[in-house]
Amino acid sequence: MQIRCALVGMPGSGKSTLGRQLAQHSGVPFIDLDQRLEQTLGCSIRSYFEVAGEACFRDLEAQALADVAQQPGGMLLSTGGGAVLRADNRDVLRRFGSVFYLHALPEEICRRVQHDRTRPLLQGGNPLKRLRTLYAQRDGLYRETARHVIETGRSSVRTLVGMAALQLEQDLAADAAQRAAE
Ligand code: S3P
């Protein structure tokens, strides 16, 4: 059995940072869906949003997610914050493997991303208001997609990696036991 794990959560919740370290810890490749998309597009997501709009971006994102999920073998997948917006994507993620929701409150995220100019949905005035709106729309979607919720609050990345790795081991054991019983 191989570790197949996806991270979901708000922009700025730490998916890429935690994902990279958890992948290293678990000995599986790390795939950042946004980075993949940027390689395919040949430009930043922010530029693509400006030129083509969010709807076109969501189509590409759904296609990229479906493609990655079809690849066999172990992997750690970090998704973009809006990947859970489509029901099809949520299904793909749930079937993909263990999904972790990296939970952070809008106020905390705002502190982390206040100087970040790469995230198109957080540009323009009042990022905290934007984050609160996104959180209200998405928190339930993240929770319905994920098998585990990780509170990112005050813990160090190292602690979070340890907690997530433990959960992954338990998931692998539970999945193996379920298979054996079938
Ligand atoms: C988005 C989050 C971004 C990126 C795109 C849209 C969103 O990823 O996919 O800008 O809808 O929240 P991060 O969550 O890595 O910032």
Residue 81 to residue 34: CA distance in whole angstroms:
10
Residue 31 to residue 178: CA distance in whole angstroms:
27
Protein residue with its CA nearest to atom 16 in ligand 1: 11
- Look up residue 38 and give its amino acid: E
Is 81 annotated in a binding site? The answer is yes
Residue 154: CATH number of its domain: 3.40.50.300
Residue 131 lies in a domain: yes
Residue 172 to residue 143: CA distance in whole angstroms:
20
Residue 103 lies in a domain: yes
What pLDDT does 125 receive?
81
The per-residue pLDDT for range 47-71, each reduced to its tens digit, is 999 999 999 999 999 999 999 999 9
C-beta 82 within 6 A of ligand 1: yes
Q: Which residue out of 13, 17, 18, 34 has the highest number of ligand 1 atoms within 8 Å of its CB and is therefore the one to mutate?
A: 34
- Residue 159's domain comprises 4-174
176 C-alpha to center of ligand 1: Å? 33
Q: Which residue out of 40, 45, 93 has the highest number of ligand 1 atoms within 8 Å of its CB and is therefore the one to mutate?
A: 45
Closest Cα to residue 21, out of 168, 171, 172? Answer: 168
* 45-52 vs 54-70: helix crossing angle, rounded to 10: 130
- Count of domains observed in the chain: 1
pTM for this entry: 0.95
Mean pLDDT of the chain: 94
Contact 36, 178 (CB under 8 A): no
